[in-house]
Amino acid sequence: MKPSKNELINVLREVIYFPKGDNIINLKMVDDIELEDNLIRFRLLFEKIDDEKNQFLIDTATQMLKDAFGDIEIDIIAASQENSLSKVRHIIAVASGKGGVGKSTVAVNLAIGLALQGMKVGLLDADIYGPSIPVMFGNEETRPLGYERDGKSYMLPIEKYGVKMLSIGHLVDKEMPLIWRGPMASNALSQLLLDTEWGELDYMVVDMPPGTGDIQLCLAQNFKLSGSVIVTTPQKVAFADVRRAANMFRHEGVNVPILGLVENMAYFTPSDMPEKKYFIFGKNTGKEFAEELNLPLLAQIPIDENVSQANDTGTPFSFNGFSPVAAAFEKLAKKIIEML
């Protein structure tokens, strides 16, 4: 007697895919189930079809099904896991070990800068607990549209200034605190990435939360990143945490290329005297930090009294093509394009 589909699914819920820390049903790795009198056949979807660890998962699922249903033929077909990121060429994480260094400002203006270079760009706000992208784009009240395909719901990213974007802040009330444990936040990040119809993109910029916790590991270990950009300010207290962030990406279990270091607030330039540079926090510290980490210094972003106002009013500063800040972000975008 053949098992029912529900019975089969209940058994497969016990098969854990350890790289992602969840079972193969929740991870949507099981597809095209066929049940006959003495045959169970389905596809098992993998991100990397040639990964040598795939066979271990197939063997585990086969044994658990035989233990549950006895002498029955099991045919599990390994297949490629097409998902919403399949048409995204490069994913770039903008990260820092410390909050308050202007990481979101760099992520937003890098995304705008890439779009101004003619690239197809997406921007994901991965700071689940403190999303800021909706404020910086002036679309806090905007909600993404959705649709269903093959029985599954997908979101459409919000588009503004030539950038497709999505944040948890576009899905919840701005006054509501997200009191979630790490696995819940990581699951929310995966849904934002995989349950959104991103379409064809040259670059997806991911604004990371500060620190080296669950969100960072979820993104680095479960998704193929082309590289990361580390943001620091000139103060040594900031660099102490930045060093930890860089070491996280270099860790054997993470192993994400670091494209380079961006020194934010490198110096102050008055908007009415753009030729002036006042090194408030010290001169050449960004260069020294980059040399210590053995990384290229990708950009030095000056302080401008109008940047904060631009963020608060939802008009990214990269649109101001006549300022040193906008010029620095344009240079950063061109350098990223050249590197990748």
Q: Rounded to 5 degrees, what are φ and ψ at 177?
A: -75, 145
The verdict on 125 and 76 lying in the same domain is no
The verdict on 203 and 308 lying in the same domain is yes
The verdict on 329 and 195 lying in the same domain is yes
The verdict on 38 and 101 lying in the same domain is no
Look at residues 58, 80, 102 and tell me which one is the last residue of a structural domain: 80
Domain that holds residue 266: 88-339
pLDDT number for residue 152: 75
Q: Residue 285 maps to which CATH number?
A: 3.40.50.300
Whether residue 206 is predicted with pLDDT greater than 90 in this model: the reply is: yes
Residues 113-157 have pLDDT tens digits of: 999 999 999 999 998 888 889 999 989 889 999 988 766 788 999
Task: Report helix, strand or coil for 73.
Answer: strand
Look at residues 51, 80, 109 and tell me which one is the last residue of a structural domain: 80
The verdict on 179 and 263 lying in the same domain is yes
Strands of the 30-36 sheet, one edge to the other: 30-36, 39-46, 73-80
Whether residue 167 is predicted with pLDDT greater than 70 in this model: the reply is: yes
Look at residues 63, 80, 97 and tell me which one is the last residue of a structural domain: 80
More confident of the two residues 133 and 184: 133
Q: Residue 75 maps to which CATH number?
A: 3.30.300.130
Q: Please tell me the distance from the alpha carbon of residue 263 to that of residue 151, in angstroms, as a whole number.
A: 46
The verdict on 169 and 248 lying in the same domain is yes
The verdict on 121 and 227 lying in the same domain is yes
For the chain, what is the mean pLDDT? 87
pLDDT number for residue 321: 62
Provide the number of structural domains found in the chain.
2
Q: Please tell me the distance from the alpha carbon of residue 24 to that of residue 13, in angstroms, as a whole number.
A: 6
Residues 232-243 have pLDDT tens digits of: 999 888 888 888
Task: Report helix, strand or coil for 43.
Answer: strand
The verdict on 65 and 193 lying in the same domain is no
Give the ranges where the chain is alpha helix by DSSP (H). 5-12, 54-69, 103-116, 133-136, 182-194, 214-222, 236-250, 285-293, 307-312, 324-339
The verdict on 148 and 273 lying in the same domain is yes
The pTM score is: 0.76
More confident of the two residues 200 and 182: 200
pLDDT number for residue 273: 80
Percentage of the chain beyond pLDDT 70 is: 97
Band (pLDDT 50/70/90 cuts) for residue 308 is confident
The verdict on 243 and 283 lying in the same domain is yes
More confident of the two residues 69 and 269: 69
The verdict on 93 and 54 lying in the same domain is no
Task: Report helix, strand or coil for 188.
Answer: helix
pLDDT number for residue 150: 65
Residues 51-97 have pLDDT tens digits of: 888 999 999 999 999 999 988 899 998 887 777 888 899 999 999 87
The verdict on 48 and 142 lying in the same domain is no
Task: Report helix, strand or coil for 232.
Answer: strand
